[in-house]
Amino acid sequence: MKCALMEGRRQGVVVARDEFRNCNQTPFCNRARSRKPNSCSLIAVDVKISDGDLVAKLIPKNPPQIDHNSTDSSNQENGVEDLVQKPLILRFSAYQDGVLRVKIDEDQTLNPPKKRFEVPSVIESDFLEKKLWLQRYSEEKIDGDSGVSSIVVYLADGYEAILRRDPFEVFVRDKNGGNRVISINSHGLFDFEQLRVKKNEGDNWEENFRSHTDTRPYGPQSISFDVSFYDADFVYGIPEHATSLALKPTRGPGIEFSEPYRLFNLDVFEYLHESPFGLYGSIPFMLAHGKARGTSGFFWLNAAEMQIDVLGDGWDAGESRLSLPSEQKRIDTLWMSEAGIIDAFFFVGPGPKDVVRQYVSVTGMPAMPQHFATAYHQCRWNYRDEEDVYHVDSKFDEYDIPYDVLWLDIEHTDGKKYFTWDRMLFPNPEEMQNKLAGKGRRMVTIVDPHIKRDESYYIHKEASEKGHYVKDATGKDYDGWCWPGSSSYLDMLSPEVREWWAEKFSYKNYVGSTPSLYIWNDMNEPSVFNGPERFIYDVEGKYEDGIGDRNIEYCEFRFPCLFDEMEMVTMPRDALHVGGVEHRELHNSYGYYFHMGTAGGLVKRGEGKDRPFVLSRAFFAGSQRYGAVWTGDNTAEWEQLRVSVPMVLAMGLTGITFSGADIGGFFGNPEPELLVRWYQLGAYYPFFRGHAHHDTKRREPWLFGERNTERMRDAIRIRYMLLPYFYTLFRESNTTGAPVMRPLWMEFPSDEATFNNDEAFMVGNSILVQGVYTEQTKHESVYLPGDQYWYDMRTGAAYKGGVIHKLEVSDDGVPAFQRAGTIIPRKDRYRRSSTQMVNDPYTLVIALNSSQSAEGELYVDDGKSFEFQRGAYIHRRFIFTDGKLTSLNLAPSSNDGRLFSTECVIERIILLGHNARPKSALIEPFKKEAEIEMGPLRVQQSQTTSVLTIRKPNVRISDDWTIQIL
């Protein structure tokens, strides 16, 4: 049956924006947005030092008079009476590297109805050990203080944290100049709804959204406050949204975005670009950057639904009390959450990489991936059977296209029961995996959090018996609908459940798995097809609110395109987790815990010897510790290619450094030109995977004619050529948090022309890539920042920095440039997979700057184990200056070189921008000469430029040596 609606969606004529839950339909957001500046009357009292922290109570300055005999319930609904009786507790903590932590919660000594949820297992234990135990504080009269002095504490060299007592405000300032960096409650928008119990039958705290009722057993419990970033030109971060990298104002005079940026993990079908609606992941971390000061950051550790306004100029219409020097501009934001506590972190920077480093010191360094995972992945929903798998695999060989991983979606299972195989379609899964492994290739299978409610299914039976499922509001196992039909969801908040889950990945339990099989966690927002926020269209294009008794599997197979028309699905907010935690309180972290449990399962499977590879769709702060993330169900449209770049950049800024978008778009059928352009751009994503919906036409790279196959093959080969550089960047990310794929302003923080540019990006500090986002483009304007030259990576041509170049664009690739002053390691021989390239020699590409110097790094380990943590790696720095190339050891002196060794050598050294034409080079300490001549910029390329090349120096990458040009 043909679905007219599906065709309409593909043509972009059906927009379901009205079916998204907006701020007006979200009471806590609506209440917070309605508050006026200066409406907060809290003051800080009883200030003291306790356990190395600054502690104070927050109480109303002028408590409202409560008529306890009144029958008016408005006081109870607004929380006024409870706020008078129960002060809030504020706690300041200072940490090394200029991190301030501010916690505000209810006073536990006053016996609130329950303890508010604090998100566990996100903050790194190493960070907690870096606490600066405060011994004293000083007092200072600050402009605007009402009678009492403000409290000043040391934060870091050059920075102080200030608690203004009356009116209540928290800010960090530059100690030297006195300028502010970040503040909370400068505009008096702070509000904290305290937990309550029903006192009479008239209390009605239920909320309804369409046919679903949220019981809200403890009443409204939302929190909101304003955060200001000073001397900022733009703010960035808070993924996941399909929008520009620089966040647009959502509120104020003439603002186009009338909705806040929403952070609420949802299964969003065919999402819209340029939309502030939340997608699959949520990281409540925002960075601000400006030329005047640099970069700062703010992170709120809170896993409940969050809405964030970026406030445009004039939003307060002069109502704010903020008094600032006229020269210090700011960007104001409003943060609103449904539940939880305030557990906020201020990061002072001052540089972009400093802020990212400070953030990951709190939430964890990104995991070091296995080497194969940084190469190309081939996926489809679904490769039908073993014959299809072998056919696709052989075609990659036939067309000489490298790839490393073949993926299987849900149809490989027995009735969508995870850890099983459809033995009619995949009768010999171990043999299939082993055959691919013989070529150095791996497989990935999907494992989702919904468990089919089938008494014959051992996972369900065991989970049910052990009480491992999330409960509904009545205490019964929650029963929702997903791919298998009736399903229950594992309570991954529980460490016990995560440990139980980890056991399921053993070879004994996951029958048919092998050491070369890895895992994909999809639908882990969690996705629930009959949850509160969803709708389904019928074949006439109308939606039905609810599925009722309809059999989902019947819908899926009888009317597949009908089944695809569902939006924004997840679990009810009043579902219950271990310890009585409501789902509303932890929702955004559910996928994080599932990702954590799965990664732990693969580590346990390998007896702690092998790094896991787990791809997750949902994510939260800290997800970077457990694997890769992708941007979800995008579409085959030029606009979606365009928006993929800021989406991946935003994730990188917030710790998720291993991410990418589905090449070609998950939905729809890309025209060959779009598919080619996507491969050419996607080759530079940190995570590089082609993927497609089962209703799309097959789109493997050899299906679009010889010329297009050649272009896609070349794009994939570029990725394989650059794998040494990418792997080195992943190690940098693993040790500093610096993203692999970076906005231009991260490398050029003073260049204002880069601040709002998200069509181009940096790969590390050495490569700039400009995407091509429109069809039949003949020219592209490319801004190359800085005052040094840039070298075209395809032709070697030099282009001046600091100007916009209008460049002719060919079909052969997207513009990519190597920055002068850098050295990039490559491997120029193309094989079936990255595993088969392990022992191949290296090429160094030296792009000289105006001083005729350059430097770069190379990191190598065994590519799979955790032995690198014991020092089993090679890390070299290459420095070219005064006509001499030197290789230096960057590994610590305690590094045991015997743990990892390699015989790999450097077979070519390319010199770009060299002023002379030397004939030979002297290699020390070996006292041998190498020839210098003109050679190809890229081998195995039909058309290439001749460049100055040192041929066959054959020096080992693990040795100290110098090469002097004669």
The reported pLDDT for the residue numbered 254 is 86
- Which amino acid is it at 676? V
Q: What digits encode the pLDDT tens for the residues 828-858? A: 999 999 999 999 999 999 999 999 999 999 9
Mean pLDDT of 511-532: 94
Nearest in space to 751 (alpha carbons), one of 333, 297, 347, 234: 234
Tokens read off for 654: 């917030």
Segment 811-819 mean pLDDT: 97
Q: What residue type is 34 in one-letter code?
A: S
Q: Which two tokens stand for residue 966?
A: 């004669």
End-to-end CA distance of the chain: 74
Q: Any bridge partners for residue 213, and if so which?
A: 208
Q: Which residue carries 């700057």 as its tokens?
A: 849
Annotated catalytic residues are 522, 525, 633
Q: Report whether the peptide linkage leading into residue 240 is cis, meaning its omega lies within 30 degrees of zero.
A: yes
Positive or negative, the CA dihedral 780, 781, 782, 788 is positive
Q: 60 vs 530, which has greater pLDDT?
A: 60
**Residue 4 pLDDT:** 32
Looking at every residue in the chain, the average pLDDT score rounds to 91
Residues β-bridged to residue 933: 949
Q: Which residue has the higher pLDDT, 142 or 209?
A: 142
- Pick the residue with more confidence: 80 or 60? 60
CATH classification code of 42-62+84-314+327-363: 2.60.40.1760
Contact indicator for 818, 850 with CB cutoff of 8 Å: no
668 close to 635: Cβ distance less than 8 angstroms? yes
CB 321 within 8 A of CB 187: yes
3-state secondary structure labels for all residues of 883-929: CEEEEEECCCCCCCHHHCCCCCEEEEEEEECCCCCCCEEEEECCCEE
Strand (E) positions, 206-313?
Answer: 207-209, 212-214, 223-230, 234-237, 261-263, 285-290, 294-300, 306-311
- Report the pLDDT value the prediction gives residue 321, as an integer from 0 to 100: 60
Please name the residue that has the structure tokens 């693990």: 958
Closest alpha carbon to 869 in 758, 765, 731: 731
Q: Residue 206 and residue 198: Cα distance in Å, rounded?
A: 12
pLDDT at 77 over 70: no
Whole-angstrom distance, CA of residue 524 vs CA of residue 449: 6
pLDDT in tens, 435-464: 999 999 999 999 999 999 999 999 999 999
Confidence check: pLDDT of 741 > 50: yes
Question: What are the residue ranges of helices labelled H in 324-423?
Answer: 352-363, 386-398
pLDDT score recorded for residue 212: 72
Spatial neighbors of 416 by CB under 8 A, at least 6 apart, are: 410, 452, 483, 484
> pLDDT tens digits, residue range 141-156?
998 788 899 999 999 9
Over the stretch 891-923, which tens digit does the pLDDT of each residue have? 987 676 678 999 999 999 999 999 998 999 999
Percent of the chain whose pLDDT exceeds 90: 82
Q: How far apart are CA 525 and CA 539, in angstroms?
A: 27
C-alpha angle 487/491/492, rounded to 5°? Answer: 120
Q: 671: number of CA atoms within 13 Å, CB side?
A: 7
Q: Is 504 helix (H, G, I), strand (E, B) or coil?
A: coil
Average pLDDT, integer, range 278-304: 97
Quote the CA–CA distance of 73 and 67 in Å, as a whole number. 11
Which pLDDT belongs to residue 172?
98
d(CA 536, CA 692) in angstroms, rounded, equals 22
Checking if the pLDDT of 535 tops 80, the result is no
pLDDT at 255: 86
**Length of the chain, please?**
966
Q: How many CA atoms lie within 13 A of 134 on its CB side?
A: 26
Q: What is the pLDDT of residues 574-612, one digit of tens each?
A: 999 999 999 999 999 999 999 999 999 999 999 999 999
Q: What is the pLDDT of residue 8?
A: 35
| Dihedrals phi, psi of 408, to nearest 5 degrees | -125, 130
pLDDT at 17 over 60: no
What gap in Å lies between CA 363 and CA 121, rounded to an integer?
9
Residues in contact with 289: Cβ distance below 8 Å, sequence separation at least 6, in sequence order: 232, 233, 234, 235, 236, 295, 352, 745, 749, 755
Q: Which of 11-20, 93-102, 815-824 has the lowest mean pLDDT?
A: 11-20
Tell me if the bond preceding 167 is cis, omega within 30° of 0.
Answer: yes
Read off the pLDDT of each residue in 926-951 and give the average, rounded to a whole number. 89
Q: Do 280 and 619 meet the contact criterion of CB atoms below 8 Å apart?
A: yes
Distance CA 926, CA 953 (A): 11
Is the distance from CB of 162 to CB of 152 less than 8 angstroms? yes
pLDDT value at 657 more than 80: yes
Q: 84 pLDDT exceeds 60?
A: no
Instruction: Give how far Cα 532 sits from Cα of 208, 263, 302, 492, 873, Å.
Output: 9, 16, 21, 21, 50
Residue 548 has pLDDT above 80, yes or no: no
CB atoms within 10 A of CB 174: 17
- What are the tens digits of pLDDT across the range 341-397? 999 999 999 999 999 999 999 999 999 999 999 999 999 999 999 999 999 999 999
Please count the other Cβ atoms lying within 10 Å of the Cβ belonging to residue 494. Answer: 20
Which residues have C-beta within 8 Å of that of residue 257, sequence separation ≥ 6? 248, 249, 250, 251, 276
Query: What is the pTM (predicted TM-score) of this model?
Result: 0.94
The three state secondary structure string of 275-305 is CCCCCCECCCEEEEEECCCEEEEEEECCCCC
Whether 752 shows a pLDDT value over 80: the answer reads yes
Which runs of consecutive H residues, i.e. helices, occur in 157-302?
none
- What is the structure's pLDDT at 892? 86
- The whole-number pLDDT of residue 747 equals 98
Q: Note the pLDDT of residue 66.
A: 54
Residue 207 has what pLDDT?
Answer: 79
> Which of 214, 201, 276 shows the shortest CA–CA distance to 242?
276
**Percentage above 70 pLDDT, the chain:** 89
SS3 of 733-748: the string is: HHHHCCCCEECHHHHC
Kindly give the residue spans of alpha helices, DSSP state H, lying in 158-248: none
Residue 559 has pLDDT above 80, yes or no: no
Mean pLDDT of all residues in 711-740: 98
Where does the pLDDT of residue 256 fall: very low under 50, low under 70, confident under 90, or very high at 90 and above?
confident
| Separation of alpha carbons 374 and 405, rounded Å | 10
C-alpha span between 294 and 570 (Å, rounded): 39
Read off the pLDDT band of 204 (50, 70, 90). low
CA-based nearest residue to 857, from 753, 953, 740, 727: 727
pLDDT at 566: 35
Q: What is the average pLDDT across 690-705? A: 97
* CA–CA separation, 51 and 170 (whole Å): 20
Sheet holding 659-660, edge to edge: 659-660, 628-630, 614-616, 517-521, 442-446, 405-408, 376-378, 688-690
Residue 562 banded pLDDT, cuts 50, 70, 90:
very low
Residues 6+ apart with CB under 8 A from 340: 116, 117, 118, 119, 223, 302, 303, 304, 585
Distance CA 709, CA 270 (A): 27
